[in-house]
Structure 1
């Protein structure tokens, strides 16, 4: 073993701060992966495919409006991946706070009377959406210029 790899292991890595926008976008992407896997695994639950073939959902019969509503419900987190990078800071902050809390509540309702695997995914999803809200709430602010703070006194 040469001295070069040992010296490399001893040097600390540069670990710069991750921008808030990037954190939020990555968390929304993670939430979407969990949604996808939870819904996919749910297809293996006994009777689920039979109900789907009979045009039944957990909320009632399948209709164009019901499918449009479900599509809109899933489109919002999908759009938030990109919107967190594109929206101005203040609307971005509020969108992430409100939608993070809203999707936490939706999942809290969705996991009622569900199988343990779905509750597992749901708890992870709720933890991430609450984290999204918290990161957005604690979004770093620009320092107030000294001239403004002096004038306020």
Structure 2
């Protein structure tokens, strides 16, 4: 069956631009990233540690807060950048940023108790799947055919 021979009532497949896929993946990553941090507040003793000025053995001073904001702000900006940057820069930026967030995501489980293995295992696993999607979408970004590349006129889809 070809594309023109679809049965009546078949759902139409719409091609989604790579930029929209990347922006959606970064938005999904951000929802997950933020909710993991929010749900972690329910761990016994975490609020007391924060009130005492420590998170993950780090003092919650200006450096920590600045770094935490940066870790959240970059993926937030990637939502916008994925829809506005030129294709070549967009592809490279997504490849670099997603690659850098792999160790950052894995690090979030450092020092956590095994009691929270499911919580952190699931959240980090989902973050890594989203980052893998971003890397794949950026890596396989479709290219346009070059006119006059040696074998007659360029045709889309050939």
Q: TM-score, normalised by structure 1?
A: 0.86
Unaligned runs of 5+ in 1: 1-9
- Name which of 134, 137, 152 aligns with 1:135: 137
- Name which of 49, 66, 79 aligns with 2:47: 49
- Name which of 50, 66, 69 aligns with 1:68: 66
Alpha-carbon offset, residue 118 of structure 1: 2.2
Tell me the equivalent position of 1:122: 124
- Which of the two has greater helix per residue? 1
Superposition misfits of 4+ residues, deviation over 6 angstroms: none
- Supply the distance in 2 between the matched residues of 1:138 and 1:59 (Cα, whole angstroms): 40
- Name which of 57, 68, 90 aligns with 2:88: 90
How much is the aligned-residue C-alpha RMSD, in angstroms? Answer: 1.6
- Supply the distance in 1 between the matched residues of 2:110 and 2:129 (Cα, whole angstroms): 16
Q: For 1:149, what is the secondary structure of its paired residue?
A: coil
| Closer, same or farther: CA 113–56 of 1 in aligned 2, 3 Å | closer
Q: TM-score, normalised by structure 2?
A: 0.84
2:150 pairs with 1:149: yes
Tell me the equivalent position of 1:6: none
Count, aligned residues: 141
Deviations 1:37-83 (A, max 9, x none): 11111001111101000010114111112111110111000000111
2:23·2:83 contact (CA, 8 Å) conserved in 1? yes
